[in-house]
Structure 1
Amino acid sequence: MRIAFMGSPDFAVPALRALHDAGHEIAAVYCQPPRPAGRGQKETPCPVHRAALDLGLPVRTPARLKRDAVEHEAFAALNLDAAVVAAYGLILPKAMLDAPRRGCLNIHASLLPRWRGAAPIHAAILAGDAESGITIMRMEEGLDTGPMLLKDAVPIGPDTTVQALHDRLAEIGARLILQALAEDPAPVPQPEDGVTYAPKLTKEDGRLDWSQDAAALERRVRALNPWPGTFFTLGGEQIRVLAAQVAAGDGAPGAALDDAALIGCGTGALRLTRLQRPGRAAMDAEAFLRGFALPRGTVLG
């Protein structure tokens, strides 16, 4: 089948490789343009761009699509059977959605209609959902509103991190998109009830609000690392919290309840187990506290 692939981050790479290995003719790979990265701010291609180059596939990196008639015409000229979209990062205009004969199929990392939007994997962990999954849907102009073709669910355990869930869902997405292209399942409209949205995350979403319940804060640590990262402030520094556990304890929100990083929350307490100072290596709490003490009574911002 002649397809275009449209994706940018690591999440999309397994699907691109699966489509290539299955023998589909990938006429073009679309991804976000290279961006400055690292200390030298060198222009760096995204993971899908790098994977496409490794596979010898042609890559297009338009900065925008909405009103770019030239891009619309170039896309239509590819004469596609289908386009596969996975965390691409740009909204496809109607002219592009309508161009492939079987439409544009999206690999969405949630069990739609729950968690439409930009950050569904993070949102599922933040909300304490018991499961997440992949939905293959046929795209339309609305935000993740298109009819569903296939679904597969996975449980979210009490220790599931966003990275582990991300990697599992990426594998499932690769498998399901091959199945959808091979079987062409009948589309099923999304139900009107149960719709929730997962907005794009910002750095400030990582600030730990100690007035919240300890369980909610522990989920936030699991959901937002490595990006945007969870943190508190103390002595003018932003200290990253990379792992934590709900623990017994009762005290003022944000106050250290002992000398071993047990912090009071709105309800219960949170034991910080892995931390990182700016410009320093991440450390388990015991090693961290030898160089940066948090004595009982210290109040974290």
Structure 2
Amino acid sequence: MQLVAHLVYWYSTHALYCMPVAAVLIPAVLLGTRSLPAGVQQALTGMVIGLAVLTFFTIFAGSWLAGWLVYRVGETGQGEVVSTYATSVQYNNHDVRGHHVLLRTQTGQTVATSFEDDNFNVYPPANSVNYPDVGEKFTARYLPAYPQDFVIITNDNSPYAHGKQCAALLDSLQEARRTHEFDLTIAASKQAYRALIHRVIARGCYTDSTDLREYDGDLAKVQLEPCQALLDSLDIVRTRYNADVADETNKRVYLALIRRVVARPPCYTDSADLRKYYSDMKRVQASYQQLR
């Protein structure tokens, strides 16, 4: 199985080079087999067509298949990018760069290998990748028999993966902060902002105690008002109740929350709101009587 994974990996990383070869080889073989017996012609034609299909499939899905195979068949090791180098290849208007890597296997062997940033040798698969910088350590899955074939793990706790996940989380936090500051009265944006701050703190996505104090200060400033939190809960439970009016748990929770709101005059604006809450209470209580 490792040999299969190795061949798929090699082909996926050389597909762009194989395509012109296949484009030249296909007509050459088809023209050159005319003088051969029919059986030989059919066999060679089938092989050439298979090569063409494999080449085009590899260009579009080869990196995904190769990454999946190496991940499933391979072992876990530790890698580090030690330098980068320029290539003469351009891919989608991007100048492809290579990365020299040192990979430490489970047996303690150090393997010098490399990859280029159009290989997409990451797991889970992705259409765009921010590869490790020079000096950045990452977790890899490699083929024991062919340790130069490896994929970079992007969803574990390695320094590279952690930094990648934190970068995405901090981008979301900045967006949530801007949304909240645009209108400080919107409870939903407050909740989203607070939730992201908690996630950033829980993931350790901060540099030092100064950053941590800043996040704690933001949490203190973005306190949800007690009434607003209560009304938000009431909206959620109302939706659940309307979706299934026969659910006894929804009824009890909905009634309890309405009573809590009614018991706190600051949590409603005027008598019209109060009449609405009493109307909702009667509606829920009436459903109890109907069931009896």
Same fold (TM over 0.5): no
Which of the pair has more CA radius of gyration? 2
- More helix by percentage: 2
- More strand by percentage: 1
Name which structure has the greater RCO, CA cutoff 8 Å, separation 6+.
Answer: 1
- The interval holding the TM-score normalised by the smaller chain is under 0.3
- What TM-score, normalized by structure 1, do the two folds share? 0.21
